[in-house]
Amino acid sequence: MPIIKFISRRLGLGVVTLFAVSLLIFLVTQAFPSDPAQAILGRETTPESLDALRQELGLYRPAVTQFSDWLIGILHGDFGKSFVTQMQISEYIAPRVGNSLFLMVVGAFLSVPLSVAIGAFSALRRDRKFDTISSTTSLILAAIPEFVMGTALILFFSTSIFHVLPAITLIDAGAAPWSDPSGVVLPILTLVLAVTPYVSRTMRASMVEILESDYVEMARLKGMSERVVLIRHALPNALGPVFQVIALNLAYLAGGTVIVERLFNYPGIGSALADSVRARDLPVIQFLALMIAGVYVLMNLVADVATVLATPRLRTSLK
Amino acid sequence: MTSGLSILNLRVNVSATGNDIVDEIDLKIQKGRVTGLVGESGSGKTTVGLAVLGHARRGVEIVQGEIYCDDTDVLNLDEGSKREIRGSLVSYVPQDPTSSLNPALRIGVQILEVLETHNFGGSDQARRVRVREMMAEVLLPSDDEYLERYPHQLSGGQQQRVVLAMAFACRPAVIVLDEPTTGLDVSTQEHVLKTIRNLSSQHGVAALYITHDLAVVSELADDVAVMYAGRIIEQGSAYDIFNNPSHPYTRHLVAAAPDIAGEQQIVGLAGRAPSPGKRPNGCAFSVRCESVTDDCLGQFPQSVSISQSHFARCINIRKSETSAKPESIKLVKKASSNTVLELRNISAGYGGQSVVEEISLILGRGQCLALVGESGSGKTTVARCIGGLHTEWSGEIFLNNEKLNRGSRQRRIEQRLGIQYIFQNPYGSLNPRRTVGDSIIRPLIISGSTGSTVKKELNEVLEKVSLPSAYSDKFPDQLSGGERQRVAIARALISRPDVLVCDEITSALDVLVQAAVVDLLATLQRDLGLAILFITHNLPLVRSIADEVAVMSDGKVVEFGDTATVIGHPVQEYTQRLISATPSIARSSK
């Protein structure tokens, strides 16, 4: 099957990419100006205990050894221990990955169909009222950073105007995110508002182009109803370019939730990343950065495969 | 109403401004007959064609007139009923099959869906049989494997046949064909025209054939209507139009059509057709007409009857009948044979598959060599090797006796400037975000010139291609196709090249513009001593510009000689076939 070959080739490339990323992550964490031991023990400590902790954390090993130990560990499924909590990273992070995944999946399931629908409908009603309103709104939304958006939502729904939703998410350790349904509404809403404008604008542009195409005019001149023209002739061709934008935005949801999670005190990987950077918890930083890079690689792969499958010209030229 | 198509006093407006795109269109086509609707791009031909299906493009509306397909009053139907007749009572064949077939649907599905939409045959089984029947009628394989192909797996000619199968599938009474053979090479064009002719007569449809190519019309049409600036300015039988063109514009068109049989030179017509809203008072052609008088400026001339079925809208019909033919330009062939460009044993291919085999050519200063062949014969590949755009080749290429490296990036800057390439499509070869001036001076900037010299050179070169210097601030989309191709020529000239490689540069332009561009090249060749490699599939065009002709087939040069000999007394069967496949007015006027 050519498509299997295509996917495995791209997966191989993805592994190479991830290796390069891991090297980069390691170099960047090495270049951090401050010292994890110092960060853990605080200012009032003795040089001796600092020295002992550094020894214990393995910071005196040569850089190459540190990198190769880390890499070999990863290949064995061992991501190391957190400097701060001394827990195995997989143990420490797993529930948070689940929490973030929940945000991401729910956000995606809401925003993708919503933005495809908005985009397609705007294109159909091009230059009419719905299009003008949705285009302007999405432009404004796209221009607002999500922490501003999140703050505005908190002001509106939690503190100043209404008091219907909690301003922060309170999930007990080990509990599922849906145990506090009202607490996840605002974070999800913020993410949906951050992603929808991009995808819907791309969908609109793609759809406008397709609706002006010769084959759509041809389909109309064959006497087909507007609904069939739309569903059979326009949509399949318009979706191809949109896959890419959807994938990039989903990947963004995985990594870019840092600020949103922070804002709502949501216990996901975003807030874990922020915490670990402040504490110079190098193994956790490295693991999270690598995982987010992995999501990017995977999403791009999925988008490329989807585009190829949706485009006969590409599909039939696979070797 | 008689059966067939009748259009009465049709007017179509630009909705925003209320300016007419077409007006006062009257046309009748009886069942089984073909009428050619001829005119330059922008004359409103397609607008009329789409109106027959009750369709107007975005921003355009049909404001007046009646259209009858058989007895159905098309314009008075509601949207639902219009949909019912589209594809069944009246169908449409578009210009570009590649963009008109949905790339995501298999061709069998696309033919089948028009039958399904109109519930043709009553059952699924009958419809599937009909699809195969239509495939056979347009001479395509009708097996499952073929029906399951996607459009991109077919050649341009095959795609156009699929569209024809689609158009004829529901046995329409009226069919509108909008330049269906533009973009096909002459042999393919001949096959497609034959198919159209057979289908039209077998099915007894009234066919409206829209084109700018008079030669094609003379092959196919029983009657001809000539459009200019949104009006039909002359109408008559094909015989009348070709043998007794009465409107000055029609005379220009007939004279400008490349003609392989005659010795006639190509003659350009200055200026371009005025667009909606910018049309002058009185006769719209007056600004370009050489026999214009003050009387022409009052109102659009009424129809004058020349014979019972032959009408023209010109007040000077009697007077202008004797006016002289426009002056023709003859190319000056220089005797000097100092070679500028030499190709020795060039072979080229793509991914190991050989496309060009052992080609040797010599081009002298001030000479024009035509490279002619069907699409796929390897002529463009040869050009791309010369320009260094294609690097998978072996052999030797010499420019001014210096051997050239394979890719353009490996060549010295003087060598790169010495060979300039002009592309087929003037719409794609200019950067839409750059002004024309910016695009033209690019080669100079790259080669390190600055400031005032650049400005001076830019003005000089614009003058050479007869564009006003104010054009340098325009963007490509403000220019017509012909003007864009002039810009592309200017960009090539600014590097003072020794050799100009012209790759099908006129094939995207309509006849009059084609003629003007060829005129321009001829003048430049004479004045600047340029050597030109002119690549085309259009043999008649070659007669009026080339000194020598090399005919290519399957990657080999099969015939070579001076132009008159090759066209007048072709030795190879392939060349003879190329010549006889080209529609010719003189040969086929009835």
How far apart are alpha carbons A17 and A105 in whole angstroms?
25
Q: Which of B86, B101, B103 sits opposite A221 (nearest CB)?
A: B86
Closest CA to A201 of A124, A134, A110: A134
How far apart are alpha carbons A149 and A190 in whole angstroms?
7
Q: Which of B87, B152, B153 sits opposite A222 (nearest CB)?
A: B87
Closest CA to B572 of B385, B282, B372: B372
Gap from A311 CA to chain B (nearest CA, Å): 6
Residues A285-313, buried b or exposed e (16+ Cβ, 10 A)?
Answer: bbbbbbbbbbbbbbbbbbbbebbbebbbe
Is residue B161 scored above 50 in pLDDT?
Answer: yes
Pair B22, B12: CB distance under 8 Å: yes
For residue A126, tell me if it sits in a domain.
yes
Mean pLDDT to the nearest integer, B561-576? 79
How far apart are alpha carbons B49 and B59 in whole angstroms?
16
Q: How far is CA B63 from the centre of its chain?
A: 30
CB contact under 8 A, B101 and A218: yes
Identify the band that residue B582 occupies on the pLDDT scale cut at 50, 70 and 90.
Answer: low
- What are the residues whose beta carbons fall under 8 Å from the beta carbon of B254, sequence distance 6 or more? B214, B241, B242, B245, B585
Amino acid A225 reads S
pLDDT of residue B423: 85
CB pairs under 8 A between A and B: 77
How far apart are alpha carbons B244 and B376 in whole angstroms?
39
Query: The tokens of A41 are what?
Result: 């023990």
Taking an 8 Å Cβ-Cβ cutoff, which residues of chain A contact chain B? Answer: 212-215, 217-225, 228, 232-233, 236-237, 310-313, 316
Q: How far is CA B136 from the centre of its chain?
A: 29
Gap from A207 CA to chain B (nearest CA, Å): 14
Mean pLDDT to the nearest integer, B217-223? 86
Look at B95-104, B204-213, B562-571 and tell me which has the smallest mean pLDDT.
Answer: B562-571
Q: Compute how many other C-beta atoms are within 10 angstroms of the C-beta atom of residue B56.
A: 17
Please name the residue of chain B whose CA is at the shortest distance from the CA of residue A221.
B86
pLDDT of residue B109: 92
Please name the residue of chain B whose CA is at the shortest distance from the CA of residue A222.
B87
pLDDT of residue B331: 29
Mean pLDDT to the nearest integer, A17-35? 86
Handedness of CA B104, B106, B109, B113 (dihedral sign): positive
Gap from B53 CA to chain A (nearest CA, Å): 7
SS3 of B424, please? Answer: coil
How far apart are alpha carbons B229 and B273 in whole angstroms?
6
Q: Among all chains, which residue has been given the structure tokens 């696979």? A: A318
Is residue B260 scored above 80 in pLDDT?
Answer: no
User: To 10 degrees, what angle do helices A129-143 and A181-211 make?
Assistant: 120
Mutate to test the interface with A, among B83, B160, B168 (most CBs of A within 10 A): B83
- What are the residues whose beta carbons fall under 8 Å from the beta carbon of B532, sequence distance 6 or more? B367, B368, B369, B499, B500, B502, B521, B525, B545
| Predicted confidence (pLDDT) per residue in B277-331, tens digit | 777 777 888 777 777 777 777 778 888 777 777 888 887 775 444 333 333 222 2
SS3 of B454, please? Answer: helix
CATH number at residue A125: 1.10.3720.10
CB contact under 8 A, A237 and B102: yes
> For residue B302, with 0-12 CB atoms within 10 Å meaning exposed, 13-18 middle and 19 or more buried, which class applies?
exposed
Query: The tokens of A235 are what?
Result: 């949509």
Average pLDDT, chain B: 82
Mean pLDDT to the nearest integer, B24-34? 89
Interface predicted TM-score (ipTM) over 0.85: no
Please name the residue of chain B whose CA is at the shortest distance from the CA of residue A312.
B104
Please name the residue of chain A whose CA is at the shortest distance from the CA of residue B94.
A218
| Predicted confidence (pLDDT) per residue in B496-552, tens digit | 888 999 988 887 777 777 888 888 888 888 888 889 999 988 777 787 788 888 888
Closest CA to B460 of B444, B476, B481, B479: B444
Q: Compute how many other C-beta atoms are within 10 angstroms of the C-beta atom of residue A180.
A: 17
Is residue B72 scored above 70 in pLDDT?
Answer: yes
Residues in A touching B86 (Cβ below 8 Å) = 220-223
CB contact under 8 A, B153 and A215: no
Gap from A199 CA to chain B (nearest CA, Å): 22
CB contact under 8 A, B94 and A218: yes
CB contact under 8 A, B150 and A316: yes
Q: Which of B53, B84, B153 sits opposite A221 (nearest CB)?
A: B53
Is the pTM higher than 0.90? The answer reads no
Gap from A317 CA to chain B (nearest CA, Å): 10
| Predicted confidence (pLDDT) per residue in B336-356, tens digit | 457 888 888 888 887 777 888
Query: The tokens of B302 are what?
Result: 């009424």
Q: How many residues does chain B have?
A: 590
Identify the band that residue A259 occupies on the pLDDT scale cut at 50, 70 and 90.
Answer: confident
pLDDT of residue A8: 92
CB contact under 8 A, A316 and B85: no
Which residue segment(s) compose the domain that A141 sits in?
92-280
CB contact under 8 A, A214 and B100: yes
Identify the band that residue B185 occupies on the pLDDT scale cut at 50, 70 and 90.
Answer: confident
Pair B387, B501: CB distance under 8 Å: yes
Identify the band that residue A244 occupies on the pLDDT scale cut at 50, 70 and 90.
Answer: confident
For residue A310, tell me if it sits in a domain.
no
DSSP label of B295: G
Residues in B touching A219 (Cβ below 8 Å) = 102
pLDDT of residue B226: 92
CB contact under 8 A, B96 and A214: yes
How far apart are alpha carbons B242 and B585 in whole angstroms?
8
Higher pLDDT, A176 or B96: B96
Percent of chain B with pLDDT over 90: 12
CB contact under 8 A, B94 and A310: no
Mutate to test the interface with A, among B79, B88, B100, B174 (most CBs of A within 10 A): B100
CB contact under 8 A, A214 and B55: no
Higher pLDDT, B590 or A149: A149
pLDDT of residue B547: 85
Residues in B touching A318 (Cβ below 8 Å) = none
Mean pLDDT to the nearest integer, A207-224? 90
pLDDT of residue A135: 92
> For residue B24, with 0-12 CB atoms within 10 Å meaning exposed, 13-18 middle and 19 or more buried, which class applies?
middle
Q: What is the largest CA-CA distance in chain B?
A: 75
- Please provide residue A251's backbone torsions phi and psi, each rounded to the nearest 5 degrees: -60, -40
Residues in B touching A309 (Cβ below 8 Å) = none
For residue A125, tell me if it sits in a domain.
yes
Higher pLDDT, B51 or A31: B51
Mutate to test the interface with B, among A124, A215, A242, A311 (most CBs of B within 10 A): A215
Mean pLDDT to the nearest integer, A289-318? 86
| Predicted confidence (pLDDT) per residue in B472-481, tens digit | 888 888 888 7
Is residue B259 scored above 60 in pLDDT?
Answer: no
CB contact under 8 A, A220 and B104: no
CA–CA distances in Å: residue B177 to residues B117, B167, B261: 21, 9, 27
Q: How far is CA A160 from the centre of its chain?
A: 30
CB contact under 8 A, A312 and B103: yes
Please name the residue of chain B whose CA is at the shortest distance from the CA of residue A234.
B102
Query: The tokens of B271 are what?
Result: 């200026």
For residue A123, tell me if it sits in a domain.
yes
Average pLDDT, chain A: 85
- DSSP for B174-220 reads EEEEESTTTTS-HHHHHHHHHHHHHHHHHHT-EEEEEES-HHHHHHH
Closest CA to B263 of B326, B215, B328, B323: B328
Query: The tokens of B77 are what?
Result: 């139907």
Residues in B touching A222 (Cβ below 8 Å) = 86-87, 91, 113-114, 117, 166
For residue A8, tell me if it sits in a domain.
no
Mean pLDDT to the nearest integer, B175-197? 82
pLDDT of residue A296: 87
As beta bridge partners, residue B43 has none
How far apart are alpha carbons B427 and B499 in whole angstroms?
23
Mean pLDDT to the nearest integer, B184-213? 84
pLDDT of residue B330: 29
Pair B478, B439: CB distance under 8 Å: no
User: To 10 degrees, what angle do helices A235-255 and A181-211 make?
Assistant: 140
Q: How are the residues of chain B apportioned to helix, strand and coil, as percentages rounded to the nearest 5? A: 40, 25, 40
Residues in B touching A215 (Cβ below 8 Å) = 99-103
CB contact under 8 A, A223 and B99: no
Closest CA to A251 of A104, A96, A99: A104
Q: How many domains does chain A have?
A: 1
Mean pLDDT to the nearest integer, B217-227? 88
| Alpha-carbon torsion angle B339, B341, B346, B348, nearest 10 | -170
For residue A213, tell me if it sits in a domain.
yes
For residue A193, tell me if it sits in a domain.
yes
User: To 10 degrees, what angle do helices B186-203 and B573-581 make?
Assistant: 50
pLDDT of residue A24: 92
pLDDT of residue A132: 93
Q: Which of B105, B117, B150 sits opposite A223 (nearest CB)?
A: B117
- What are the residues whose beta carbons fall under 8 Å from the beta carbon of A283, sequence distance 6 or more? A70, A79, A80, A81, A82, A83, A89
Of chain B, the end-to-end C-alpha distance in Å amounts to 29
For residue A30, tell me if it sits in a domain.
no
Secondary structure of chain A as H, E, C letters: CHHHHHHHHHHHHHHHHHHHHHHHHHHHHHCCCCCHHHHHHCCCCCHHHHHHHHHHHCCCCCHHHHHHHHHHHHHCCCCCECCCCCCEHHHHHHHHHHHHHHHHHHHHHHHHHHHHHHHHHHHHCCCCHHHHHHHHHHHHHHHCCHHHHHHHHHHHHHHCCCCCCCCCCCCCCCCCHHHCHHHHHHHHHHHHHHHHHHHHHHHHHHHHHHHCCHHHHHHHHCCCCHHHHHHHHHHHHHHHHHHHHHHHHHHHHHHCCHHHHHHCCCCCHHHHHHHHHHCCCHHHHHHHHHHHHHHHHHHHHHHHHHHHHHCHHHHHCCC
CB contact under 8 A, A312 and B150: yes
CB contact under 8 A, B105 and A311: no
Q: Which of A215, A223, A232 sits opposite B84 (nearest CB)?
A: A223
SS3 of B432, please? Answer: coil
Query: The tokens of A285 are what?
Result: 């930083």
Query: The tokens of B150 are what?
Result: 């996607």
| C-alpha radius of gyration, chain A, whole number | 24
Amino acid A22 reads S
Handedness of CA B333, B338, B341, B346 (dihedral sign): positive
Pair B538, B582: CB distance under 8 Å: yes
Residues in B touching A217 (Cβ below 8 Å) = 55, 57, 94, 100
Taking an 8 Å Cβ-Cβ cutoff, which residues of chain B contact chain A? Answer: 50, 53, 55, 57-58, 83-88, 91-92, 94, 96, 99-105, 113-114, 117-118, 150, 152-153, 163, 166
SS3 of B150, please? Answer: coil
CB contact under 8 A, A228 and B91: no
Amino acid A224 reads M
- Please provide residue B21's backbone torsions phi and psi, each rounded to the nearest 5 degrees: -90, -45
As beta bridge partners, residue B209 has B36, B177
Mutate to test the interface with B, among A128, A222, A318 (most CBs of B within 10 A): A222
Look at A181-185, A259-263, B315-319, B388-392 and tell me which has the smallest mean pLDDT.
Answer: B315-319
pLDDT of residue B1: 46
DSSP label of B550: E
- DSSP for B380-419 reads HHHHHHHHTS---EEEEEEETTEEPPSSGGGS-HHHHHHE
What are the helix (H) ranges across B9-85? 45-52, 79-85
